């Protein structure tokens, strides 16, 4: 049985309206029995109109909440109070417009301003990075409590909650670390469903091995990117997946999970992938370089070990002192 597909859509309101204007995209989504995670980057009349159109067509919708870019865009440790307010504003807009949602999505990623600083150069990025770390250790617990309150509020309003997380959150969680949360501003949250963003286009030529390695340990997975989204030129490999890469990732993901999220709908439409999915052969075989997979597994172990040590910076000092004392003791015995 083919997996259930969910497409992320991150278009601004005018482009979003044009995407569904003709009806072909909507018809194809219905044939696929697909869902949409729609970016809520504004509370416009146009966006509400498209949501009602999708509601009438029976397309299950997830409200993918986002902030203005100047507030960090994605949800993270630094903007926790703004995230809570954003949901309240969304709920008011949604209720007034009579919109129906299947669940609410929280995108947990580093502050967008870090990406902007990295585009300007290494020095601006390093300056911003190291000025934010000291205060994050103090903010971490309070931010976590705010997001816990947000999840409880969403549940009380009758919605399930899902998060979109970087794959390294698994290592952070495994060794009970908060290092990456303090460094990157991400948060380890407990929700109904966690989707790891395993976009192989960003990790060439290791993307397929990373997808398999993290995918087997993930609760749910998202593949991509087929194009669209924020401008990451100069920060990451922005080339979208071609059909060969995309179909390979689909087959790997289908071996692992019964549901697959895809970033993005607009990229699939632009490249002609959406129509090709209607008759896609999910029984095809797929090959993965075992050597690459083994290397990724080993790198994950190294990452986990590194995080364990960073979480306990006193331990190397204690070991060094013990070694020095042992060496002094041996010398005394010899003398």
Q: What are 181-207's pLDDT values in tens digits? A: 998 899 999 999 999 999 999 999 999
Cis before 33 (ω within 30): no
Q: How far apart are CA 36 and CA 22, in angstroms?
A: 18
Q: How far apart are CA 259 and CA 207, in angstroms?
A: 19
Q: How far apart are CA 107 and CA 197, in angstroms?
A: 10
Q: How far apart are CA 203 and CA 206, in angstroms?
A: 5
Q: How far apart are CA 290 and CA 298, in angstroms?
A: 12
Query: Would you state the structure tokens that stand for residue 42, as one six-digit string?
Result: 């504004």
The pLDDT assigned to 233 comes to 66
Q: How far apart are CA 157 and CA 38, in angstroms?
A: 19
The pLDDT assigned to 1 comes to 84
Q: How many helices (H) and strands (E) are present in the chain, helices listed first?
A: 14, 8
Which of the four pLDDT bands, split at 50, 70 and 90, describes residue 238? confident
Continuous H helices in 108-261: 112-120, 122-156, 169-174, 179-184, 207-215, 243-256
Q: How far apart are CA 222 and CA 186, in angstroms?
A: 18
Over residues 4-18, mean pLDDT = 97
Over residues 117-142, mean pLDDT = 75
The pLDDT assigned to 312 comes to 77
Per the structure, the complete domain to which residue 13 belongs is given by 4-334
The pLDDT assigned to 84 comes to 96
What CATH number is given to the structural domain containing 101? Answer: 3.20.20
The residue among 206, 14, 229 whose CA lies nearest residue 115 is 229
Identify whether the C-beta of residue 53 lies closer than 8 Å to the C-beta of residue 29. no
Which of the four pLDDT bands, split at 50, 70 and 90, describes residue 235? low
Query: Would you state the structure tokens that stand for residue 265, as one six-digit string?
Result: 């709908």
Q: pLDDT at residue 319 above 60?
A: no
Which of the four pLDDT bands, split at 50, 70 and 90, describes residue 93? very high
Query: Would you state the structure tokens that stand for residue 258, as one six-digit string?
Result: 């019964």
Q: pLDDT at residue 250 above 70?
A: yes
Per-residue buried b or exposed e for 297-328, using 16+ beta carbons within 10 Å of the residue's own CB: eeebeebbeebbeeeeeeeeeeeeeeeeeeee
Over residues 73-88, mean pLDDT = 95
The pLDDT assigned to 95 comes to 98
Which of the four pLDDT bands, split at 50, 70 and 90, describes residue 135? confident
Look at the chain and report how many structural domains it folds into. Answer: 1
Which of the four pLDDT bands, split at 50, 70 and 90, describes residue 88? very high
Q: pLDDT at residue 335 above 90?
A: no
The pLDDT assigned to 132 comes to 77
Identify whether the C-beta of residue 193 lies closer than 8 Å to the C-beta of residue 162. yes
Residues above pLDDT 70, as percent of the chain: 87
Q: How far apart are CA 302 and CA 276, in angstroms?
A: 40
The pLDDT assigned to 331 comes to 66
Average pLDDT of the chain to the nearest whole number: 91
pTM flag (> 0.95): no
Q: pLDDT at residue 29 above 90?
A: yes
């Amino acid at each position: 049985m083919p997996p259930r597909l969910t497409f992320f859509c991150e278009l601004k309101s005018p482009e979003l309206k044009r995407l569904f204007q003709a009806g072909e995209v909507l018809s194809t989504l219905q044939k696929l029995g697909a869902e949409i995670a729609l970016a809520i980057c504004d509370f416009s009349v146009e966006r509400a109109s498209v949501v009602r159109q999708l509601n009438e067509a029976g397309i299950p919708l997830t409200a993918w909440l986002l902030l203005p870019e100047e507030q960090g865009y994605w949800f993270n440790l630094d903007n926790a109070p703004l995230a809570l307010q954003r949901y309240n504003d969304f709920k008011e807009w949604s209720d007034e417009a009579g919109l129906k949602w299947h669940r609410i999505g929280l995108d947990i990623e580093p502050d967008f301003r870090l990406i902007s600083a990295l585009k300007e150069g290494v020095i601006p990025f390093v300056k911003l990075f190291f000025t934010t770390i000291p205060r994050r250790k103090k903010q971490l617990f309070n931010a976590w409590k705010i997001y816990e309150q947000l999840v409880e509020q969403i549940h009380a309003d009758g919605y399930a909650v899902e998060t979109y997380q970087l794959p390294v959150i698994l290592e952070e969680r495994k060794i009970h670390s908060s290092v990456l949360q303090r460094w990157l501003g991400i948060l380890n949250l407990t929700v109904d469903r966690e989707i790891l963003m395993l976009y192989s286009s960003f990790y060439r030529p290791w993307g397929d091995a990373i997808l398999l390695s993290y995918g087997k340990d993930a609760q749910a997975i998202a593949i991509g990117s087929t194009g669209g989204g924020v401008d990451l030129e100069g920060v990451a490999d922005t080339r979208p997946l071609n059909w060969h890469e995309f179909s390979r990732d689909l087959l790997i993901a289908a071996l692992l999970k019964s549901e697959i999220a895809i970033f993005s709908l607009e990229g699939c439409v632009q490249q002609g992938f959406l129509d090709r999915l209607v008759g896609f052969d999910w029984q095809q075989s797929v090959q993965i370089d075992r050597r690459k997979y083994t290397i990724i597994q080993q790198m994950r172990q190294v990452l986990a070990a590194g995080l364990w040590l960073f979480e306990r910076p006193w331990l190397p000092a204690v070991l060094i002192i013990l070694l020095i004392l042992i060496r002094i003791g041996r010398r005394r015995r010899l003398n």
